[in-house]
Each structure stands twice: as structure tokens, then as C-alpha cells.
Amino acid sequence: MLGYVVDQALALEPSRVLVVVGHESDQVEAYLQVLKVETGAGERIGSVVQTERLGTGHAVLTCSAELEALGTEADAGPIVVLSGDMPLFRVETLRSLVDAWYEQAAAGAGAVILTSEPDDARGFGRVMRAGEAVQGVVEEKDASPEQRLVREVNVGVYAFSRATLLEGLPRLSSNNAQGEYYLTDMVGLLVGDGRPVSAQKVADFNEVIGVNTLKHLSEARTELQWRILEGHLAAGVRIEDPATTYIDHGVEIGHGTRILPCTVIRAGVSIGEECEVGPFTHLRVGTRLDDHAEVGNFTEVKKSTVGSHTKAKHLSYLGDVTIGAGANIGAGTIVANYDGTHKHPTQIGDRAFIGSGSILIAPCTIGEGALTGAGAVLRRGTEVGPDESWVGVPARKLEPKRDSND
């Protein structure tokens, strides 16, 4: 979830991204190190520890030193505040917020906020207006029954000038139902100072899904999944049944590939063009399918490469294996990569034929054009040479029959 929000921030091309961390901050900090590498943003991404969690206003207040250090050159653009539990904002929505700030800052506006009118206000602060003018935001726990009937809500995304933010944060009060410093109170302070606050409405309610419960998390996950699927469909991937197909963020799929129903593809998977995956296939991190590869019914692949025109169509587990081009993996094949302590690699050469029910105990090597008989069990360390045939339990090389006259 944090990765999505950091991506939102980076899409605005900021000079600095600050992540306020608190609960279990060591885990969040560790993930931020991963994000620095994955996004290429490096030291542009920083963090500030909020040792006491005293509300959204207090969270931003902990960034004061960092904001001051940006210097006056930062006053040319806005400080954008995002919520860490809202992964669904589209970049276009956030850019419209920034554009509105530039348009209105010259006219003396205090800030621009994002609002929406969702069917379920569930915990959002209500936007109070006098006619069309925004007057303030009242958090749900502090709102009167009449105020809770207001449909327009504040969604927790703001654009301030640096000077305005630094000036207003120390003026926030914790005199409210939760005893916290609300960033939403900045709206009322600015309006009281004669600096109007404008609101940009978000039309797509799904963008403002915030995650406070497991139910909310599932709603956000569902919306993100549809976006991912739509992206692949637009790129020419044939997904037969999107309702039963689960594809994580960060999956690469080539044009013309066909994804059959009840397929799960996890992050870190790369699939070439004109492949076939499914039904009931599970592709895990580190899997690569070369062009025209086929992986089918109840086959699980983990950290493996499946070569071009290779087929693994039925009831197989392929773990830590590199398979060449044009090979056939028979039904029920198991590449047993784990010895109880460590995982080991296996190599299967081009055009190899792995018979149904074969078990390959890693590490082992199958040469080009080699064959294993149905039900063969290849012991750890086995090396099958090119074009050799191995059969039995444990498997042994099948020697060609000699003519009686030899």
C-alpha cells in the first residue's frame, strides 16, 4: 500500500518525498529502502519518525525541520500532503490538484483540498460551506447529527504553500473529541485569516477508498486488481475471465498471450508474447516464460524459466528450474527443489521430454533431447546426458539393446 502512495508522490516529480513513520517504523523503513532502489528515487525519498501519534496535523508538524530546510526555492511550488492509507488515487487527479494550486496561489488562496461525495462517508470529515465557499472541515467524531448529513467529504489530500503550512501548523489545537491535532483544522484557520480554500471534487468514488479495516483493504485490492487487468487487456493480453484472474502489480505480459480462468500471477513474473497460461495455474516470483511457452492446468512455477515453445500443461510443480526451448514436461512432474534446509537448481535442456509422473530431485541436470520415463525418480546430483533415456526408481540410464551378432 505504501508503494502505491509513494508512486503517486513521485509521479508529481517532486524535489523531495517525506514519509511519516510511527508504529513498527523499522518495518516501514526497511521497505522504504527497497522502494528507493525500485523507483530509482534514491535519496529523494526520506522519512520522519512521529514518536507520538497525535493526529494528522501532528504528523505533518514533525516534518517542519525538513520543510524549512528545503529553502525559499521550494516556495515556487506546493507542498502536497497525501494519506498513507489511500492507494487508489490516479496521477491525473493529483496533477489537477497541483494545477489548481498554481492557478489560485497567485490570487492569495490559502490551500486547495480534494473532496468527494461517496455513497458511504465512513469516517471522513465533512466539508462545511457557506454557499459555494469552503468554510472548514469537521471530523466525523466531532460533527453534529446535522453536519453528518453533509455528503461532501474531505479525503485527506492537500496542496499548501510551504510558508502557509509552516505558519499554520503551530496554531493547531487538540481541543476535540479525539484529543488530536487535525490537519483538517488548517482549512478553518486559513479561511479565518481571509485566505480562501478551494476544493477539487474527485468524481470517481473508488479513488477515495481509505483503508481502516480488512473490509476496506479488500475493497481497495479489488479496485486495484481491475485496474491492473484493464492495463493488460489494453496492451493486447487476452484474459478470458477477468473475474477469476488475479495478477499482481509489477507483472510483465507480452502481446497476444492468453490467460485462462482461475489463474494467479504474483509480482515479479515476466511472460513473453503468444504464451498460454492456465486454467488453474499459479506463477510465483522469479518466473519467466519465454515467447510461445505454455503452462497449464494446476501447474505451479516458482523462480524458474520456461523456454520458448516449451509445454508444462498438467499437474506439475516447477521450482528453481531452467528449462530450455521446445521441451515437454509431462503431467505430474515434480522438480523437488527443497531438501528441508536449502533450495537447489535444476537444468533441463532444449527438446527434453520429461515423462509423466517424473520426480527430479535437485540439483540435477537433464541434457538436450534427453528423456525420462513415466514415473522415473532422478536422485540428487543426477546428470542425464544429451539424448539419453533414463527410467525406473531410482532412475538409471537405459542402454540401447545390442544385436545378438555384435
pLDDT < 50: residue spans in the chain:
none
pLDDT the model gives residue 402: 66
* Among 208, 234, 266, residue at a domain's last position: 208
Answer yes or no: is 118 within a domain: yes
Q: Tell me, yes or no, whether 204 and 253 share the same domain.
A: no
Q: Tell me, yes or no, whether 263 and 200 share the same domain.
A: no
* Among 176, 208, 240, residue at a domain's last position: 208
Answer yes or no: is 143 within a domain: yes
Q: Tell me, yes or no, whether 173 and 272 share the same domain.
A: no
Q: Tell me, yes or no, whether 281 and 300 share the same domain.
A: yes
Q: Tell me, yes or no, whether 80 and 102 share the same domain.
A: yes
Q: Residue 378 in contact with residue 384, Cβ under 8 Å?
A: yes
Q: Tell me, yes or no, whether 247 and 107 share the same domain.
A: no
pLDDT the model gives residue 120: 80
Which amino acid makes up residue 109? A
Answer yes or no: is 162 within a domain: yes
**CATH number of the domain within which 23 lies:** 3.90.550.10
Answer yes or no: is 404 within a domain: no
Q: Which of 255, 314, 342, 344 is catalytic?
A: 314
Q: Tell me, yes or no, whether 25 and 57 share the same domain.
A: yes
Q: What is the pLDDT of residues 38-76, one digit of tens each?
A: 899 988 999 999 999 999 999 999 999 999 998 887 788
CA distance 289 to 278: 13
Q: Is 384 helix (H, G, I), strand (E, B) or coil?
A: strand
Q: What is the pTM of this model?
A: 0.85
Answer yes or no: is 406 within a domain: no
Structural domains counted in the chain: 2
Q: Which residues contact 291 (CB under 8 A, 6 or more apart)?
A: 254, 272, 273, 274, 275, 308
Answer yes or no: is 405 within a domain: no
CA distance 385 to 366: 6
Answer yes or no: is 402 within a domain: no
Q: What is the pLDDT of residues 79-105, one digit of tens each?
A: 999 999 999 999 999 999 999 999 988
Answer yes or no: is 104 within a domain: yes
CA distance 178 to 140: 11
Q: Which domain holds residue 293?
A: 214-397
Q: Tell me, yes or no, whether 36 and 177 share the same domain.
A: yes
Size (the chain), residues: 406
Q: Tell me, yes or no, whether 302 and 374 share the same domain.
A: yes
Q: Tell me, yes or no, whether 200 and 231 share the same domain.
A: no
Q: Tell me, yes or no, whether 45 and 12 share the same domain.
A: yes
* Among 208, 231, 264, residue at a domain's last position: 208
pLDDT the model gives residue 406: 58
Q: Tell me, yes or no, whether 196 and 294 share the same domain.
A: no
Q: Is 232 a catalytic residue?
A: no
**CATH number of the domain within which 295 lies:** 2.160.10.10
Of 112, 190, 192, 195, the closest CA to residue 154 belongs to 112
pLDDT the model gives residue 374: 97
CA distance 154 to 83: 12
